[in-house]
Every structure is written in C-alpha cells, then in structure tokens.
C-alpha cells in the first residue's frame, strides 16, 4: 500500500532588497534564463532594448530583487512613469489618477514555491502607498492562472480584459490604494 506524503520545501535564506546597478549582469542573466524557459512565451511581454537600458532609472521603475547569498534569484519592478501608463489609464478610465504598475516579475524555476514573488509584490504595494499612488494595476495573460491567483491573493481585483498596443491580450487587475 502506498501512502502519499506531502514534502515541505527546504528552507532557504532569502534576502529582499533593491537591486544595485552593479548587479546589472545578474539581472540580464535572470531575464534571459527565465524567459528562455517559459513553456508559454506569450505569458510575458518581452523587454524592449530601451526598457533594459532603463532598469536602474528610478523615475521609470523601482527594481527589487530576491537574493540567496549573492545570487539574484528573483526580481520585480514597480513601474512609476505616468506617460508609459497612459494607455492603461485610458482603458481603465483612470486618466486623472496617479497609477503605478506591478510588473517584470521573474523568479528562477528552481526557486519557485518559496513565496518569493508574494513577498516582493507586498513590498511593492507598500512602496506604492508610500509614494502616494492612487491605484496600482498589474496584468497577466488570461490563461496565466498562477500569476492571476497570486495577484488576487494580494487584493488586486479584476478590472478589464484588453489587448494592449503591442498586440498582447491581458487581464488587467488592480486596487485603489
């Protein structure tokens, strides 16, 4: 007779912090590795070169990381630049509000399941409140149940399905802060 035993994930020591510019090579490697291993590439909108060149521009986005020792194992961005978000503000009827976006959420496959993304997004929500944003939004492919479940667990609610200007279909979720 077989008995099913639920195994707990081993504890790992994870440090969360702002990613410093000297870790740019690690950021680019993380992006390349995670995006290269996606089973459904349409779940992540690829970075444009100008976005990669803006990774450490704090007027564009805050860049947070999860580290195991000195190794970057996850990252998340909080997009701040209002001009970049105008399309979404228009789609959602939020043009007169200060809106930020949770995005650029990537975790190495071997480190998933440790709550890394949950902790990083919680920190980003705190940052959004501290910076006095009115709304925070995020978007995911409608079939990306794991991402949508995580965002909704943190309190974001369905706002709208939309095809964004780059042709990607997305479910937009958000919350009033």
Q: In tens digits, what is the pLDDT along the chain, a chain of 177 residues? A: 444 434 455 678 999 999 999 999 999 999 999 999 988 888 888 888 999 999 999 999 999 999 999 999 999 999 999 888 998 999 999 999 999 999 999 999 999 988 899 999 999 999 999 999 999 999 999 999 888 988 999 999 999 999 876 788 899 999 999
- Lookup: tokens for 70: 């000195």
Tell me the domains of the chain and their CATH numbers: 15-176 (3.40.630.30)
Closest Cα partner for 125 from 90, 93, 88, 150? 150
Q: What span, in angstroms and rounded, lies between the C-alpha atoms of 136 and 98? A: 9
Q: How far is residue 174's CA from residue 139's CA, in Å, rounded to a whole number?
A: 8
Buried b (16+ CB within 10 A) or exposed e, 22-55: ebeebbeebbeebeeeeeeeeebbebeeebeebb
Q: What's the N-to-C CA distance of the chain in angstroms?
A: 53
């Amino acid at each position: 007779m077989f008995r099913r035993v639920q195994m707990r994930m081993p504890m790992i020591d994870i440090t969360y912090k702002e990613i410093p510019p000297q870790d740019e090579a690690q950021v680019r490697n993380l992006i390349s590795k995670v995006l290269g291993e996606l089973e459904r590439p349409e779940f992540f909108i690829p970075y444009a070169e100008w976005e990669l060149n803006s990774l450490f521009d704090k007027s564009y986005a805050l860049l947070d990381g999860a580290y195991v020792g000195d190794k970057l194992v996850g990252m998340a961005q909080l997009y701040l630049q209002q001009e970049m978000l105008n399309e979404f503000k228009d789609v959602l009827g939020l043009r007169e509000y200060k809106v930020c976006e949770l995005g650029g959420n990537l975790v190495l496959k071997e480190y998933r399941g440790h709550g890394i993304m949950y902790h990083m997004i919680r920190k980003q929500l705190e940052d959004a409140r501290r910076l006095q944003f009115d709304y925070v939004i995020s978007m995911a492919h409608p079939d990306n149940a794991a991402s949508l479940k995580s965002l909704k667990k943190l309190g974001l609610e369905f706002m709208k399905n939309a095809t964004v200007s780059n042709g990607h279909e997305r479910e937009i979720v958000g919350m009033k802060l």
